[in-house]
Every structure is written in structure tokens, then in C-alpha cells.
Chain A
């Protein structure tokens, strides 16, 4: 029992350090605060895959009563610890991602037209901004054929991530 307790404490301590390190990376003035606009990046870099709405909720929890445009570490830590311990916002596997593309590829072509993907990404779900769309296309698009071979795209991105 004592061992388990030690283990639990050790795990908690590691989680805290992880969060702290990620937070510090954006703490430009070394005063334990980060700009609220960077919280999404921090949370995602810790391995979470929240949607925009879910992100917004976490931010609201971590903000001060009077939102000042920045988030303080002492409020962020407990919120984020809970997120990690409860394993919220689980990762999206390669298979799931591939399936998602296949669903969009209604005609089963094996690829998506640039226009098709753009329409989905910028009009549906939690739409991309133009900048996000352009960046995705620059990585995914085969410029000669003007299509996205999504299977290759997914494999490439997954390798990148592993690096």
C-alpha cells in the first residue's frame, strides 16, 4: 500500500513537472503567466486533442474571475492536472483519421480534390481559418494533380509526429 501511495505521488509529481515545463516555454517574462491565446498550444503539446469548444471550457476554468488576457500558472496547474489524469481529449489514432478521410471521400476515389477538402474544412465542424487551410494544403496537396492523396498524407504526418 505504501508503495502504491509513493507511486501515485511520483506520478503526480511527474505530471506537474510536465505541465510546468510546457507552461514555462510560453512564459516570456518568467513571471508564471502566459498569454491566454497560447493555452491551446500548451494543452495540445501535452498530448491532448480537444475541440475548440472543449478548449474554450478549459480556458474559462483556468481564467481569473476578471479575465485579463493572461492565465496564471497556479490556476492552470490544477485544471490541467485533472485533464491529464482523467485522460480527457484522447488522441486520435491513425486508423480513425484515415477513416475520417475515407468518409469524406464519398466516391471512394482514394484521393480528395483540393476544392472538396477546402469546402469541408472551412465550412463544416469547427471551420478552419484561411491561414489554417492554406497551411494544410501546402503540406498535403500534390500541386500537379491538385489533389490530396490522404493516405500518404496521413502516413507522412504520423511519422513527423513520432520524430
Chain B
């Protein structure tokens, strides 16, 4: 079949009818169309490749983060109390609830902070008015910065309000006719301003739901938060905020928000971050519109139960990466009381039912193990995980109180915690998939992948019609799936790179039919043709990739040499592709990318030594002779910086030699590699440029930034911590 055979006859018959159009003309039109569609497909392929590069580097980073966190947890549980390493990292595990709220309020007091006379940024007075908030937005548009006194004041008020809000916001369209829903913003202030420009500022006539991920990556995370919180305070019945997986101080350490705040607020940054930790934990988890539309940041799983979510103490989950603390016994008896609040059951009955349930259940520790295993689905470190869970189980059972408690009650409480934690992580981390079922989300390391059958089931169970979520960057800013019952909305345009994607927001009226509005933040990118925008994004992605090659140079070299036993210096392109897959663990189509990454071959063979040279990356400091160390630093740049920031407890930006050495040892045991103390000390001394016995973190990081000599680009890179 194929139109080539039948058409000419048809065409000949119709020739006279069609007047001007002859057979050759018809054929020509068809040929041009056929050719053009092929061309567009090729472009789409390149765009897809580029996307994959960015996304896999991003997700590998998220996995890394979780691995790093697990490693710290393991250290915490296994080091003896006297160990100095333990002290070094212990404060990330320090209980937030050591002080009561009143004491925290004293700590966060802004009243002693003075505003200097030469301050020309925006001023705030409370209670806020429309005028003040509008001026705040304008000030940020003009790149001004809000003084830390006002920041703490505003955040303090926000904290007070959030503590009053339920876990699930309930919104009605009869109150204000249409509701606007925005997805991830990730510090892209220009996108938020664009939305306000197109759609109007939040007000009693213009309701907004913001669906999480306000911070990290972009440069104006704190400004976005301040604006959203200001509008929340101003219009608490018309502005709704959901928590995203990036509203989490552990994630912020890696992805740039912590750095942004400390950079902008040198004196009070730490306090601001601490207060934000609390605020993040108090953000509501979901919003429901007219009992019919559910809005959450990540998604759902087959076990999602809104009634569990509605009842939990959401603020106990300061970081969704961190499993719940074991409940103190006092709190646990409170659990029993809460159970009695179950709708139909009598008080005693429901508690007893629970007890029976846990007895007949297969061993409590196993089910706990299972449910936690799902949330930490990184198989390679299973040994550590099992240990970890054993530790936690023991911790759960080692009660500090004198009163006798039954083992079942305590493991019940721990189980309930685990269940709640799973519910929370699923809401914030999950992604939809096309196949039926529900499987752990191993790409991200948290949450799950859920299929259309799960959507049906969960929505029907809760009498809902539509699920709106964010969490994934989409080229058009939005995407429907699962027979249009799930809608992804993403509001940070040009997320990976200029021209990579549009942003979008939704307007929802009483008919609950979503209307999507798209935009792109810079005019120049809108005017680029398809091939220009693909080209630009592609160059950026390829640059990021080349940096990965450099970071893994020795591993790659040794695999190349395995394929070249006779030491000819050449390997086949086929072997090159296999080597890339094996070493880099990035799920990328290496054969497709080959033409972009390999410049010259002879007879299908690649000279790999010269290929490395051609990568055009200059090593920044040739005096640092320890190549292994260098490479490790490049590879684990983010991890290293994260660890540094944790260790720099007073946020001075300086760490001592001893701290540096300990940092290094931590990292090398995480990576299970041997680096001699001597090499570390050497390195430390060579970095201490001013010889004062301490290392400036920023200078250290600078010393190891990769410079791509072809582009003289000191800017964007997925590997470097985003500014």
C-alpha cells in the first residue's frame, strides 16, 4: 500500500477537474511534505536527547542526595558518641522540637535588628496592606533586597498563620469565580512576575493555588517565597500554598537555596533558614477544589488515603527525606486518643481493632522494613539500609520513660509513623507512568510511579474528578495523561536552559474544566525558530555532558583500555558506546549522541587519547598533581559542597584544616575510596592561598570549577551548584 501506487491514477482522472494542478505538482507537494516532516522529526530527536541529558543529570543528583543522606544517618547510628565526626554532622539530625514554640519565637525575634539609614529597599509594616505588598513586588522587580529584619518579621507572621491551617486546603469556586493554579517556580522570579502580569495579582477576585517547589535552582527563591507569603497573609482565604519536595532543608543544601540565602543575608541567613525549616514543615500538603479536584505537588500511590493525610501532624516531617522520629511515649498515648476520633467507631473499639491488626500482621519489624524499603529504593546500599532499619527499630523500642508500655503499642506507633511518612513522600515525590500498576520510583529515589488504574481507583475512592500536579518539567509547560484525569503543570519556563521549555498556569472555573495558559519568560526565546532553540539548549546540554566525561576520565580510560588490549590507542565506536554506558550510569542513548560527541574517526575507530584532549576542558590548577583527587572532586562536586555547608556551622564561609580533613575523610568513606592523609593535607595547604590556616569554601569551590575554553563560560552548568 502507500500512496505512490494508487495516487497517480486518481490524479490523472482528476487532472482536468483540478485545473492548474498537474500530477508533477501534486507529487512535488507530497515530496516536500514528506521531506519536511522528516526534518522536523530529526530536530525533535535532538531536542529529546538534550532533554534526557539534563533530566538524567538532575535525577542522578536527586538520587545522590538521598544516598548522601542515608550515609550520614548510618554514620550517626554507628559512631561512638566521642567521635568528632559524629559531632560534625550531628546537628542536621538535631531535633527541632528541643525548644518549645515560645522559645523559638524568642530566637527568631527581629526587633533587635536595626535598619541602617542608608537602606533603600522596601519597608514593611504590619498588618500588611495591598499597597505595601504591591510595592514589595515592584521592589523585587527592580532587583532590590528586603532587609533581614523585615524578612524575619514576615516569616514569623507566616509561621503563625501556617500553624493554624489544616493539612488539606479546601477551596470553593463559588467564593471567587475562577481559581488560578501554578506549578513549580524554582526561584524564577521573572516567571512569577509574568504570571501576575498576565493574570493579575492575587486578590479577593483572583484566587491562586501554588503547587510547591518555590525554591532552588533559580536565583530569586527567597524573593518568591516572600511574595507568596505576603499575599498569603494579605488574602488568607484566596491564596493557597502546597508543599513541594524542594520545601525541604536537606534538598536545599544541595540545590542552591541555602547558598542563596546565606549569600544574600550574611548576618542573619542562618536564622532565616532555620525559621524557613519550620515554615516548610507547616506548609499544607494538598488542596482540594469543590471536593472534586485534587492538587498535590508530586502525585499519588495505590495506598494514598486523604483521611490519613488529613489527620497527621504534618510538621513532624521536617524533611521528607528523613524518616519520622520515634514517638515519645507521651505522644504515643495521644495517638490512642486520636484513634478514638475515628468517625463511626467507639473509642475503645477502634484502638483494640488496631492492636489486633498489628498482632496478626506478619512481624511488625518486617512490615516496617518493607514500607521503609520502598521509600529508600536504592538497591545497591541495601546492606547499609538493613543496618539502618535495625538501628531505628531498636531506637523505637528503647523507651526513655519509666512507665511500662507494651511492645505492640510502640511498634504500632512506629508503624503508624512509617505509614504516614509513606503517604507524605508519595504525595511529594511520585510521577505518573503509562502502564498500570504502582512501582517504587527508583529514578528519583523516593515516591513511586503510578499508572492509570491507580488514578482511577484513588480518584473514585475519594469521589474526585481530576488530579493536578507538578514536579516534572514539561516542554509545553503542561501535559495531560491518564485519559485527561491527571494534569501536570509546570511554571518555570526555560528551566534547563534558555529556550528549553515554556511555563504554564491553569485557570479553573465552577465548571472545573482546566484552561491552560502558556508563556515563556524571555522575548528572545519566543522568537527563536525551532532549530535555533534546539541548537542552543543542545549546546548547553552537551557542555554539561562533556564535564561528566572529564570527571570520569580515569574510569573511562581504563574501560577503553580493556577494549584495546594491543594498545593501539583505538577503539571501535560500538565499544565507545558500551564504555560510556558502563561508566557513567546515565540512561542516555549513546549511539544516537555519538555523532555529536565524537568528532573524528578513521574507519569507524576512535583514537580515544586525542578524543579526551579534544574535549576542550582545561584543568584549572596544574600544580595540584593528585589527579585522582581532582577527578573525585569534579565528580562529587555537589556532594562535597553539601558536606562543606553542613560542616560550616557558623556559616562563616571558612573551615579549618582539621574540618577540611574530616570532611574529606567523610567523603572518601562515603565513596569507599582510599585517599592518603598526606594527599589531603597537601591539597589543603595548596588551597590555603593566604596561609592563615583556614580555607575559604568559596575559593575552594572556585579552584575546581571547570572551565570550558571554547566558550569561556563561567556560568551555567548542571554539575556546579546552581547560584
Q: Which residues of A contact B (CB under 8 A)?
A: 14, 17-18, 21-22, 24-26, 28-31, 33, 35, 40-45, 48-54, 57, 69-70, 91-92, 96-97, 99-101, 103-104, 106, 120-121, 124-128, 132, 135-136, 138-139, 157, 160-161
Contact = CB atoms under 8 A, between A and B. Distances in A.
Given A25-B592, A49-B35, A57-B1, A104 B434 contact: no
Interface string B34-45: 111111111011
Interface of B: 1-4, 20-21, 24-42, 44-45, 48-49, 52, 433-435, 443, 449, 529-531, 574, 577, 587, 589-592
For the complex of A and B, 8 pairs with smallest distance between CB atoms: A44-B41, A125-B30, A100-B28, A45-B45, A125-B29, A124-B29, A103-B28, A21-B589
B2 A53 contact: yes
Contacts of A33: 434-435
A124 B42 contact: no
Contacts of A53: 1-3
A124 B590 contact: no
Contact of A92 (B24, B34, B529): B34
Contact of A51 (B21, B30, B52, B591): B30
Contacts of B31: 92, 96-97, 100
Given A48-B38, A49-B35, 8 more contacts: A21-B592, A25-B589, A25-B592, A35-B434, A41-B48, A45-B45, A136-B36, A160-B39
Contacts of B27: 100, 103
A101 B35 CA distance: 12
28 contacts: A17-B574, A22-B592, A24-B589, A25-B45, A33-B435, A35-B434, A41-B44, A49-B38, A50-B34, A51-B34, A54-B1, A91-B38, A92-B35, A92-B38, A96-B31, A97-B31, A97-B32, A99-B28, A100-B31, A101-B28, A101-B32, A103-B28, A121-B29, A126-B3, A128-B33, A135-B530, A138-B530, A161-B42
B695 to A, nearest CB: 41
A50 B33 CA distance: 10
A139 B1 contact: no
Nearest to A97: B35
A15 B577 CA distance: 14
A71 B494 CA distance: 31
A29 B431 CA distance: 10
Nearest to B531: A160
A122 B508 CA distance: 35
A101 B37 CA distance: 16
Contacts of B1: 53-54, 57
A51 B3 contact: yes
Contacts, number: 141
A28 B27 CA distance: 37
Contacts of B531: 139, 160
A45 B39 CA distance: 9
B434 A21 contact: no
Contacts of B29: 100, 104, 120-121, 124-125
B38 A29 contact: no
A87 to B, nearest CB: 14
B40 A21 contact: no
A125 B589 CA distance: 34
Contacts of A125: 26, 29-30, 32-33
Contact of B589 (A22, A52, A104, A157): A22
B49 A124 contact: no
Contacts of A26: 48
Contacts of B41: 40-41, 43-45
B33 A126 contact: yes
A143 to B, nearest CB: 11
Nearest to A91: B38
A49 B34 contact: yes
Nearest to A139: B529
Contacts of A136: 36
A100 B378 CA distance: 56
B434 A70 contact: yes
A127 B48 CA distance: 25
A35 B48 CA distance: 14
Contact of A100 (B4, B32, B39, B434): B32
Nearest to A26: B48
Nearest to B42: A45
